[in-house]
Structure 1
Amino acid sequence: MVTIYDIAAKANVSAMTVSRVINNTGRISEKTRTKVKRVMEELNYVPNQMARSLVLQQTNLLFLLITDITNPFYTTLARGAEDAARKHGFRLLFGNSDEDLDKENEYLDTILKTRTDGVLVAPTGDASLPHLEMLRKHGVPFVLIDREVPGVESDIVLGDGKEGARQLVGHLAERGHRRIALINGSPHVSSARQRLEGFREALKLNDLAYSENNVLETSFGPRNDLSEVGAWLDRIDPDTTAIIAGNNFLAVEVMRSLAARGRKAPDDMSIVCFDELASYAEVDPFVTVISQQAYQFGYLGMQMLIDRIKEGEAAGPWKKIVLPSELIVRRSVKTLG
């Protein structure tokens, strides 16, 4: 294995000079730097990243912790995060919490053990507070995406869930729907709370009634057992003509449960949701959605994280970015007379 001493001997410089070239530290003439790099190439030298990280107290590793990479929203978000990380010379690791606090905690241990420079995280929910406090205690910078956690001050990138819900309700009301239901995420997740709040406000604005029977608060993650969704569909108000799903997974689960009952969208029930859907075979026709800027969530969140890592307190006060979303009208809503 080639060492910095081998390079120093061939380049006729000190090992300290070679170290400074590798780590880009100290004052070295351009002539000397070029000579050392040429020798490194000739000897096919590969720097020891672990040793380098111990010297610089930086690994150039970042971590993206999300709830489920199979969700098209997070898939696109991850692409944006990776592009921003690579642009600044960082490598990106990632994990899925699957909306599970214990799994989130396991990844926290991994983050701390690998000496990750920073974390971009979509927290499981409000109960993620101690996990984020642990990152702060160990000096690991983090930026939140998609979800807030009460009691945590940090940089954050969010969507406007309330406005998205208002747009969906308004669209349905314009198409003649008077009884609308909502299947949503857990009340312990900030994005779900925003969507419910926007839903209730929009019903009032459109002179539509709110019914407890017509709201199901469950998990945003996918599931194999659709019994909870099916049982809810069986007890919603009988005059319900449209359902808003808090995310794309829930929309697919509603359509599967409707199909199991011999019903389909939009003929028997209109369906709209937050976030784009993947190419599920069950999704026909295409669903009207509130499309969020998933790529920008990842890219801007990662840029904010890198700024915190490089600038520390000089980066200034915590920043909050709220990205607007777009209503994309397709064929999943039936117009009523």
Structure 2
Amino acid sequence: MTTIYDIAKLANVSAMTVSKVINNTGSISEKTKAKVRRVMEELNYVPNQMARGLVTQQTRLLFLLITDITNPFYTTLARGAEDAARKYGYRLLFGNSDESLEKESGYLDTILGARADGVLFSPAGDRSLPHLQKLRKQKIPFVLLDREVPGMDCDVVLGDSKEGAKLLINHLAERGHRRIALINGSSEISSARLRAQGYAEAHKLNDLELNEDYVLETDYTSHQDLRVMSGWLDRLSPRPTAILACNNILASEAIETIRAKGLKVPDDISVVCFDDLGYMSRISPFLTVIAQQAYEIGYLGTQLLIERIQDKDGQRPWKKLILPVELISRSSVADISGQG
């Protein structure tokens, strides 16, 4: 394994000089820096980030903790975060909590062990507060993405969940739908609460009856027990003419459940949701969706995190960025306004 002593010998400088070049410390001429870096490249030398961090108090590592890597929303978010990290000279590690507080806690130990400079965090829910408090106690900067946690003041970047739900309900109401069901995530998740609020507010604005039986609370992860969704739909009488699914995974499962009953989308039940289904939406665009700026959430969140890392005095005020959403109308909604 190549060491700084090997580099020093070939570059004809001291090991201390090599160390200063690697860590960008001390007063070294540009000519000497160029010579040392050239030798490092020739030897394919990769600096030990842990050892370097002990000197600079920075590892140039960021950690992204998301809740469901199978969801195209988070895949796109991660792409934005990685692009921003690379642009500013950081490397990005990531973990997937599967909406599990236990897994989230395990990743927290990994983050602390890796001496990450900062964390991009999509929390499992409100009960993630102790995990955030632990990061704060260890003086590790973090930015929340897509979700907030009550009781924690920090930088946050999210899409406008409440407005998105209102836009979808308005879209359905304009096409004659008056019995609109909601399949949502847990009420312990801030985005789910905001979408439920938007659903309720839009019902009032459109003079629609708000029926609690038409609301199913589940969780956002994939591989749900479809029998629960199927049984819920069977109990609804009269049957809803439309369903708002609060993410793309729930939407695909709702469509699967509807089709298993011999019904059609949108002829029998229309379906709308938050976020597209990744590449499938390019191949066969079908779902009417609220498109969130997933890439920008990841990119801007990383920028905020790096700014927070560089704010040694801790004087910057907390920032909350709520990015606008866009309604994309497709063929998963039937126009029943002409029906009596």
RMSD: 1.9
SS of the residue aligned with 1:273?
A: strand
Note closer, same or farther for the CA distance 1:267–1:137 as it changes in structure 2 (3 Å cut).
same
| 2:90 equivalent in structure 1 | 90
Matched to 2:155, the amino acid is D
8 Å Cα contact 1:157-1:320 kept in structure 2: yes
Identify which range, 198-207 or 301-310, moves more after superposition: 301-310
| 1:51 equivalent in structure 2 | 51
Shift of 1:150: 0.3
Q: Does 1:76 align with 2:76?
A: yes
Q: Over residues 45-90 of structure 1, what are the superposed CA-to-partner deviations in whole Å (9 max), with x where a residue is unaligned?
A: 4433332122112211111111111101001111001100111111
Matched to 2:271, the amino acid is I
| 1:5 equivalent in structure 2 | 5
Note closer, same or farther for the CA distance 1:39–1:106 as it changes in structure 2 (3 Å cut).
closer
8 Å Cα contact 1:117-1:309 kept in structure 2: yes
| 1:216 equivalent in structure 2 | 216
| 1:116 equivalent in structure 2 | 116
SS of the residue aligned with 1:312?
A: coil
Note closer, same or farther for the CA distance 1:70–1:14 as it changes in structure 2 (3 Å cut).
same
Shift of 1:239: 4.6
Identify which range, 164-173 or 39-48, moves more after superposition: 39-48
Identify which range, 133-142 or 51-60, moves more after superposition: 51-60
**d(CA) in 2 for partners of 1:284, 1:36:** 53
| 2:333 equivalent in structure 1 | 333
Give the alignment of 1:15-164 within 5 angstroms: 15-164=15-164
With structure 1 as the length reference, what TM-score do the two structures score? Answer: 0.94
SS of the residue aligned with 2:312?
A: helix
Matched to 1:142, the amino acid is F
| 1:179 equivalent in structure 2 | 179
**d(CA) in 1 for partners of 2:22, 2:101:** 40
Q: Over residues 103-136 of structure 1, what are the superposed CA-to-partner deviations in whole Å (9 max), with x where a residue is unaligned?
A: 1111111111111111101100000000111111
8 Å Cα contact 1:184-1:219 kept in structure 2: yes
Note closer, same or farther for the CA distance 1:311–1:238 as it changes in structure 2 (3 Å cut).
same
8 Å Cα contact 1:166-1:199 kept in structure 2: yes
SS of the residue aligned with 1:64?
A: strand
Runs of 4+ residues over 6 Å off in structure 1: none
**d(CA) in 1 for partners of 2:8, 2:223:** 59
Identify which range, 100-109 or 47-56, moves more after superposition: 47-56
Matched to 1:162, the amino acid is K
Q: Does 1:270 align with 2:237?
A: no
| 1:304 equivalent in structure 2 | 304
Matched to 1:195, the amino acid is R
8 Å Cα contact 1:66-1:121 kept in structure 2: yes
Shift of 1:223: 2.0
Note closer, same or farther for the CA distance 1:140–1:72 as it changes in structure 2 (3 Å cut).
same
Q: Over residues 185-227 of structure 1, what are the superposed CA-to-partner deviations in whole Å (9 max), with x where a residue is unaligned?
A: 1010000000000110100000000001101111011124211
Matched to 2:216, the amino acid is L
Shift of 1:279: 5.4
Matched to 1:94, the amino acid is F
| 1:206 equivalent in structure 2 | 206
Identify which range, 199-208 or 7-16, moves more after superposition: 7-16
| 2:228 equivalent in structure 1 | 228
Note closer, same or farther for the CA distance 1:278–1:237 as it changes in structure 2 (3 Å cut).
farther
| 2:194 equivalent in structure 1 | 194
8 Å Cα contact 1:270-1:332 kept in structure 2: yes
With structure 2 as the length reference, what TM-score do the two structures score? Answer: 0.94
**d(CA) in 1 for partners of 2:284, 2:229:** 19
Matched to 1:270, the amino acid is S
Shift of 1:32: 2.6
Matched to 2:323, the amino acid is L
**d(CA) in 2 for partners of 1:63, 1:52:** 18
| Number of aligned residues | 336
8 Å Cα contact 2:233-2:239 kept in structure 1: no
